[in-house]
Amino acid sequence: MQRPYNFSAGPAAIPEEVLQMAAAEMLNWHGSGMSVMEMSHRGKEFISIAEKAEADFRKLLAVPDHFHILFMQGGGLAENAIVPLNLSRGGAVDFVVTGSWSQKSVKEAGKFCDAQTVASDEAQGFTHIPAAAGWKLRDSAQYVHICSNETINGVEFQELPDLATLGSKAPLVIDFSSHVASRPVEWSRVGLAFGGAQKNLGPAGLTLVVVRDDLLDHAMAACPSAFNYRLVADNQSMYNTPPTWGIYMAGLTFDWILRQREGALTGVAALEARNQAKAELLYRAIDGSQLYENRVAHDCRSRMNVPFFLKDESRNQAFLDGAKERGLLQLKGHKSVGGMRASIYNAMPLAGVQTLVDYMQTFEKQA
Amino acid sequence: MQRPYNFSAGPAAIPEEVLQMAAAEMLNWHGSGMSVMEMSHRGKEFISIAEKAEADFRKLLAVPDHFHILFMQGGGLAENAIVPLNLSRGGAVDFVVTGSWSQKSVKEAGKFCDAQTVASDEAQGFTHIPAAAGWKLRDSAQYVHICSNETINGVEFQELPDLATLGSKAPLVIDFSSHVASRPVEWSRVGLAFGGAQKNLGPAGLTLVVVRDDLLDHAMAACPSAFNYRLVADNQSMYNTPPTWGIYMAGLTFDWILRQREGALTGVAALEARNQAKAELLYRAIDGSQLYENRVAHDCRSRMNVPFFLKDESRNQAFLDGAKERGLLQLKGHKSVGGMRASIYNAMPLAGVQTLVDYMQTFEKQA
């Protein structure tokens, strides 16, 4: 039986193969007699799971050796505090605000450092990314923060800024929660990347932090030990008991990603091609219709999160009801913006987007 | 086929029924077409799971209405910082040190407040609980911290201290990570209780905090929002994306606990009776042998974590190898103390302890 297509913004769809494997191994992982959830995190079984997950993540995103990969807890909202606690030294930090998530980040950082918005698209309703040439970067900034994909507003950096060419020596911090592993990362431009796992990588409760080694040692005295990057790194992400199930599920997902093929492409490159095709199909359908609209500038539309509005809002509930009947789930937009949102992460096949587009066109004609 | 008996100190054994249910529902929870891991935490499906979990936990431990139950992340080590950030106001906090965990707690709290050890059994190797009459409690203390069961040292408070009778008005904070839900809690003596789920309640990555309402509003400015008890409480533990799978698994475990029967007893009372019987069986076998010893004073021995030593340490590896052959897993003691440790949490049946005791006696005779 065909499973429904799940467009949740996160926690989000997981590849069916991954779920099948998790169910099959639930009571007895690889002959150990234990569920993964029942293993000591310091035993050889779980250590092998964690080491493979880390190595596979490094491989699939080509993370250079001078970056540490940390498995942490608390999601993006916790990192909004944990990053400044580790990197700001209580000094200046610059934020580019392109939507709800970067707004939250600058507000939270203000508790720990001199957090300043150096560019914002709020006046245009978060439909553009402010041109980098206009960012008012400070020489004193300890780092510059961007949200490289805004889940709620559907705005994505198609290329990461190169701060060096903007005259800044600060490291770039990216919140890549909602598009991690959907496209390659230009690590030469990045100091630190963080993301909750619950969109593209696995279940909620696991956070990935990829941090350049020279940034590990600047934690403020007020940083809780469990969230001190140096301590987490030196203890192979086991300073405190890690979210073992989340690491296991992410590991199965990493393995799934590495096995993906699209023509001659493999892994993340294959997914990127598939994600481009999915996004083009959906945006084309929206732009070509009289009923639906997406307000984001074409050159910064997200490939992962596609918010759209029915010009006749009185039909919103009918749209959602009809979608659910056809097995198209969780399309309701975020409460702060309304309308609809289709999140089409890695686990969403092209066939799912095609089914949505077919439904949207049928629904439009019913008017 | 009989599953092995898993004596891990945590992450620890989960009732087989709970694992079976989790496997069966993996791809399609209650006809929703989604895995629990794929649900938006703000959708009606997951909210029903979280609400039932909270209500069942309140029921099984008889948590009074003037306490909030919070689902958080980071485990006990994170709470060692989060509790003082929320409750200390940067002032005096008193610690009773009865083993490795309370040692860690007082050390971490010292980063945020005037943390002082007011009683310690370190000189006796953590084999006793210092008599409450001798605790040097300060009038200025914002709270008094104890670890009500020390997982590594195997020391357990058989009764919670009544601070009022000791002349203190401070609330009592208990770290009950490793014996939560194994026995009732005298809530009239408690201000706040916290615990990682990975011993008695479910998978690692979920932390339970039970906090009296009047203690919610004292967070320090440096407390990250994601860990501010007031914000977490006001957002029904969804200020940030919660560890949805952990809450689901804990909910299945709560349901399992409520269904337990031991004669006329049900729920936690039934488990307490079973846990007493298991502990008595094991301690009697240790005390009656020439080979094994447990050094903890009889009146404060843990019912959950039973460390023991072979007087002939050269036989340690042979003991572990033979145990594993018989399906008795994860008996190696914590690296900081050596020897053996049998953690016999709620999910361990009496038959598992009997099998261990039989093996210990057979092994002793082989000398």
Locate A26 and state its tokens. 């639930």
Give the pLDDT band of residue A2 (cuts 50, 70, 90).
Answer: confident
Domain boundary (A230, A257, A284) is at A257
Q: Check whether residue A326 and residue A248 sit in a common domain.
A: no
Given A16, A108, A222, which is nearest B225 (Cβ)? Answer: A108
B124-140 mean pLDDT: 97
Q: Is residue B7, in this structure, part of any structural domain at all?
A: no
- Which chain A residues are closer than 8 Å to B50 by Cβ? none
Q: Check whether residue B189 and residue B45 sit in a common domain.
A: yes
Domain boundary (A257, A277, A309) is at A257
Q: Check whether residue B214 and residue B277 sit in a common domain.
A: no
How many whole angstroms separate alpha carbon B83 and alpha carbon B87? 6
Region of A281 (left: φ > 0; alpha: ψ -120 to 50; beta: rest) is: alpha
Q: Is residue A320, in this structure, part of any structural domain at all?
A: yes
How confident is the model over B218-265, as pLDDT tens digits? 999 999 999 999 999 999 999 999 999 999 999 999 999 999 999 999
How confident is the model over A308-333, as pLDDT tens digits? 999 999 999 999 999 999 999 999 99
Q: Check whether residue B155 and residue B55 sit in a common domain.
A: yes
Domain boundary (B226, B257, B288) is at B257
A30-49 mean pLDDT: 96
Average pLDDT, chain B: 97
A48-74 mean pLDDT: 98
Q: Is residue B270, in this structure, part of any structural domain at all?
A: yes
The amino acid present at B121, given as its one-letter code, is: D
Would you call B86 an interface residue with chain A, using a CB distance cutoff of 8 Å?
Answer: no
Given B222, B241, B245, which is nearest A196 (Cβ)? Answer: B241
Q: Check whether residue B286 and residue B147 sit in a common domain.
A: no
Angle of helix A100-109 versus helix A75-87 axis, rounded to 10: 40
How many whole angstroms separate alpha carbon B328 and alpha carbon B273? 23
Would you call B239 an interface residue with chain A, using a CB distance cutoff of 8 Å?
Answer: yes
Give the pLDDT band of residue B289 (cuts 50, 70, 90).
Answer: very high
Strands (E), A61-196: 67-72, 92-97, 114-120, 141-147, 149-150, 155-156, 172-175, 192-196
pLDDT of residue B80: 98
The amino acid present at B115, given as its one-letter code, is: A
Give the pLDDT band of residue A86 (cuts 50, 70, 90).
Answer: very high
How many whole angstroms separate alpha carbon A286 and alpha carbon A340? 12
pLDDT of residue B1: 58
Q: Do A39 and B222 touch (CB under 8 A)?
A: no
Domain that holds residue A233: 17-257
Is residue B317 a known part of a binding site? no
Q: What is the largest CA-CA distance in chain A?
A: 62
Task: Give the A window 35-54 contacts with B, CB below 8 Å.
Answer: 35, 37-41, 43
How confident is the model over B166-219, as pLDDT tens digits? 999 999 999 999 999 999 999 999 999 999 999 999 999 999 999 999 999 999
A81-104 mean pLDDT: 98
Give the pLDDT band of residue B367 (cuts 50, 70, 90).
Answer: low
pLDDT of residue A132: 96
Q: Check whether residue B194 and residue B293 sit in a common domain.
A: no
| Contact present, A97 and A122 (Cβ < 8 Å) | yes
Q: Check whether residue A170 and residue A201 sit in a common domain.
A: yes
Q: Check whether residue A185 and residue A324 sit in a common domain.
A: no
Give the pLDDT band of residue B37 (cuts 50, 70, 90).
Answer: very high
Q: B65 CB contacts (<8 Å, ≥6 apart)? A: none
Annotated binding site of A: 42, 101, 151, 175, 198, 240-241
CA A347 and chain centroid, separation: 13
The amino acid present at A26, given as its one-letter code, is: M
What SS3 state is found at B240? coil
Q: Is residue A186, in this structure, part of any structural domain at all?
A: yes
Q: Which residues of A are catalytic?
A: 101, 175, 199
Average pLDDT, chain A: 97
Q: Check whether residue A221 and residue A316 sit in a common domain.
A: no
Q: Is residue B8, in this structure, part of any structural domain at all?
A: no
Q: Do B205 and A243 touch (CB under 8 A)?
A: yes
Q: Check whether residue B25 and residue B80 sit in a common domain.
A: yes
Report the DSSP beta bridge partners of residue B114: B92
Q: Do A4 and B85 touch (CB under 8 A)?
A: no
Q: Do B85 and A225 touch (CB under 8 A)?
A: no
pLDDT of residue B2: 78
Q: Do A205 and B242 touch (CB under 8 A)?
A: yes
Domain of A233: which CATH number? 3.40.640.10
Give the pLDDT band of residue B101 (cuts 50, 70, 90).
Answer: very high
Q: Is residue A164, in this structure, part of any structural domain at all?
A: yes
Looking at the structure of chain A, the number of domains it has is 2
How many whole angstroms separate alpha carbon A171 and alpha carbon B186? 51
Q: B332 CB contacts (<8 Å, ≥6 apart)? A: B320, B340, B341
Q: Is residue B233, in this structure, part of any structural domain at all?
A: yes
**Interface confidence (ipTM) of the complex:** 0.97
Q: Check whether residue A70 and residue A156 sit in a common domain.
A: yes
Would you call B320 an interface residue with chain A, using a CB distance cutoff of 8 Å?
Answer: no
| Contact present, A131 and A121 (Cβ < 8 Å) | no
Q: Is residue B60, in this structure, part of any structural domain at all?
A: yes
Measure in Å the smallest separation between the Cα of A224 and chain B Cα atoms: 6
Percent of chain A with pLDDT over 70: 99
Domain of B297: which CATH number? 3.90.1150.10
Q: Check whether residue A270 and residue A253 sit in a common domain.
A: no
